[in-house]
């Protein structure tokens, strides 16, 4: 997904817990940040990254209204901001296969929950052709 985003020159914004690389989740995967060395990393202070003013400002600065989102956990890390962004008028594509989940049933309920909230759930190959998108990893 990261390589496709790079190929299409999509703007990328990273977010991580405010403890940064020393926090419980650790650093953002270097295999991804090496592809986007200039992408901002927002060390957020809110559980829902969309509620962090620095993250929101970074997304708004891209000028894009279509968002592709992935996270460590589909239901939490990317699910919370995805639903919030949809509520604020964004078209959000959730990359399910680029995000983890704790069990198959959790993943199934996450997809249902996100879809009911207006998030478009797909995988990195099938769903990410909108050229006006911004990636959030």
Mind telling me the catalytic residues? 77
For residues 123, 124, 127 and 128, what is the CA-based torsion angle, rounded to 10 degrees? 160
Distance separating alpha carbons of residues 6 and 4, to the nearest angstrom: 5
Element (H, E) at 59: helix 53-61
In angstroms, the Cα distances linking 101 to 59, 82, 106, 131 are 24, 16, 7, 27
């Amino acid at each position: 997904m990261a390589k496709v985003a790079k190929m299409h020159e999509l703007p990328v914004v990273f977010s991580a817990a405010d403890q940064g690389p020393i926090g419980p989740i650790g650093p953002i995967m270097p295999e991804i940040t090496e592809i986007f060395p200039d992408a901002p990393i927002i060390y957020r202070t809110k559980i829902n990254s969309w509620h962090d003013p620095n993250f929101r400002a970074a997304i708004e600065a891209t000028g894009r209204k279509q968002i592709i989102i992935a996270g460590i956990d589909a239901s939490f890390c990317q699910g919370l901001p995805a639903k919030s962004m949809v509520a604020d008028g964004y078209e959000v594509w959730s990359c399910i296969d680029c995000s983890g989940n704790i069990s198959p049933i959790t993943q199934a309920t996450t997809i249902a929950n996100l879809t009911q909230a207006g998030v478009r759930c797909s995988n990195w190959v099938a769903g990410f052709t909108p050229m006006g998108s911004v990636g959030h990893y």
